[in-house]
Amino acid sequence: MEKGKEPVMDCPETRPIAPVVVRKSPASTIPVVLHVNGQEHRIKVRRQDRLSSVLRDALGLTGLKEGCLEGECGACTVLLDDMPVNACLVLAFQADARKITTVEGVENADGSLSPLQQAFLDRGAVQCGYCTPGMVMAAHGLLLQNPRPSESEIREGLGGNLCRCTGFQTIVEAVKTVAEL
């Protein structure tokens, strides 16, 4: 397509803007309501706070790990509205009023391990354990979206999580056993 011959499209017209009042919070803290593992938490966060540090330090949910703090390792994976995210790359104030699930919220109601967690143990998919909460949450999120994933879909779903011990094979096998149930 040559320059100057771009297709004409129906784009918004330039228009005047009426003054309005915007909800704003002081720079120091922002009140938020976090719905974590079915419990409501009313807390104040700073605008630069990462969701991972708020969950760990303010709410004591230390299952998730802050490994790389740049979205590489996946150890901080939690579900935000049932979708896996790197909690280290989510601003805590943006999680206001959203549903958050951490690894502490995956177990069965009676406190026993979920089938997915049990499969990790049965398959030897846990060694040092540092990556495990993130792996479990990435797999849990995958299975919520796609209950019968293929092996390649499992590998793709876990691609954002690094493990330095087990070599991934046992982790993929653990997820497969649950996917095949």
Partner 1 sequence: MNGRTGVARPRTVDEVTAATRGLDGRIAYVAGATDLIIAQDGIPWPDLVIDITQVAGFNTVEVSRGFIRIGAATTMTTLSNHKTIGTEMMALARAAAKVGSVQIRNRATIGGNIASAMPAGDLLPALHCLGARIGILRRDGLHETLGFEAVVVGRGETCLGNGDLITTIYLPRETPKRRISAFVKTGPREVLTIARLGVAASIRLNPKLNRVEDARVVAGALAPVPLRMHQVEATLRDREIGQPLADDFLFALSQAVDAAIPGRHSQPYKRRAITGLGLDLLQQLFNREFDIPSVQAEPA
List residues near partner 1 by CB under 8 A: 1, 3, 6-7, 9-28, 30, 47-48, 50, 69-72, 74, 77, 80, 83-86, 88-91, 93-94, 138, 141-142, 155-157, 159-161
Least separation in angstroms between CB 112 and partner 1: 27
Calpha distance 64→55 (Å, rounded): 8
Least separation in angstroms between CB 109 and partner 1: 27
| Residue closer to partner 1, measured from CB, 11 or 109 | 11
Least separation in angstroms between CB 167 and partner 1: 16
Under 8 Å between Cβ of 103 and 130: no
| Residue closer to partner 1, measured from CB, 23 or 109 | 23
Using CB atoms within 10 Å of the CB of residue 130, give its burial: 0 to 12 exposed, 13 to 18 middle, 19+ buried.
middle
Calpha distance 178→181 (Å, rounded): 5
Calpha distance 129→1 (Å, rounded): 54
Least separation in angstroms between CB 113 and partner 1: 23
